């Protein structure tokens, strides 16, 4: 009897220790500090649900370990915010493997297909021959090809009128101007191969 009780207690302890871990991970990586909140930053992904986001095209998405993750081999598509943004600062962490082709799209159309032609695409694909990771497709190219696969990386993106600035892991990769798109949702891309994850998605709108 005592042996059975010990086993039951052990199972309960393991369940208790594991269950909060996922929640703790989500909160640790998807939060706004008091100083950030005072400065106007807000989370647009809470780490536990896809509230405020909607899929486009055929890809499938899920929340896994506090990240927005593309379901591998489930088709190409986007996860787009339901809110529209014009001028803003955006931070987002991303993780890809060496086969994935992804991107963060800015000022997207309100519905339908999203492309580098109808939105600004901050590319995530190191071996791209024209627009390596950190470039804005059809606007400006990063000068030194980065190595982002297999680790967490951070984009800091500013869209202020026609002024577009991208920083990758603290280094400025693009500082350019384009007035082709003025406002719209923000979208995350999965191009149909490999693994793609996003977390720590925060935005500060600019007056």
Is residue 65 left, alpha or beta, with left meaning phi > 0 and alpha meaning psi from -120 to 50? left
Half-sphere exposure of residue 145: CA atoms within 13 angstroms, side-chain side: 9
Q: What stretches in the chain show pLDDT beneath 50?
A: 3-5, 7-22
Domain boundaries, the chain: 31-205
DSSP 170: T
Alpha-carbon radius of gyration of the chain: 19
pLDDT digits (tens, 9 = 90+) for 171-204: 999 999 999 999 999 999 999 889 999 999 999 9
pLDDT of residue 29: 87
pLDDT of residue 12: 38
**Are the CB atoms for 199 and 31 separated by under 8 Å?**
no
How far apart are the C-alpha atoms of 55 and 79, rounded to whole Å? 4
Q: CATH classification of 31-205 is 2.60.120.560, yes or no?
A: yes
pLDDT of residue 47: 96
pTM: 0.87
pLDDT of residue 1: 52
pLDDT of residue 28: 81
Residues paired with residue 102 on neighbouring β-strands, in sequence order:
124, 190
pLDDT of residue 27: 65
Q: Residue 108 CB: number of other CB atoms within 10 A? A: 26
How far apart are the C-alpha atoms of 137 and 123, rounded to whole Å? 7
pLDDT of residue 74: 86
pLDDT of residue 8: 44
- Name residues whose C-beta falls within 8 Å of residue 124's C-beta, 6 or more positions apart in sequence: 94, 96, 100, 101, 102, 103, 104, 133, 148, 189, 196
């Amino acid at each position: 009897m005592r042996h059975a009780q010990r086993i039951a207690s052990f199972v309960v302890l393991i369940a208790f220790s594991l269950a909060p871990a996922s929640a703790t991970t989500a909160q640790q990586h998807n939060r706004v500090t008091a100083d950030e909140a005072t400065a106007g930053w807000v989370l647009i992904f809470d780490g536990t649900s896809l509230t405020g986001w909607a899929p486009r095209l055929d890809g499938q998405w899920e929340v896994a370990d506090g990240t927005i993750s593309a379901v591998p081999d489930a088709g190409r598509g986007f996860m787009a915010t339901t809110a529209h943004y014009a001028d803003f600062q955006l931070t987002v962490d991303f993780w890809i493997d060496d086969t994935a082709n992804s991107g963060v799209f800015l000022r997207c159309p309100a519905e339908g297909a999203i492309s580098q032609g109808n939105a600004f695409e901050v590319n995530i694909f190191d071996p791209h021959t024209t627009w390596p990771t950190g470039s804005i497709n059809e606007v400006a190219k990063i000068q030194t090809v980065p190595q982002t696969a297999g680790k967490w990386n951070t984009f800091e993106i500013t869209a202020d009128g026609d002024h577009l600035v991208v920083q990758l892991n603290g280094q400025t990769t693009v500082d350019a101007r384009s007035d082709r798109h003025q406002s719209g949702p923000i979208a995350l891309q999965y191009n149909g191969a490999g693994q793609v994850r996003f977390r720590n998605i925060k935005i500060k709108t600019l007056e």
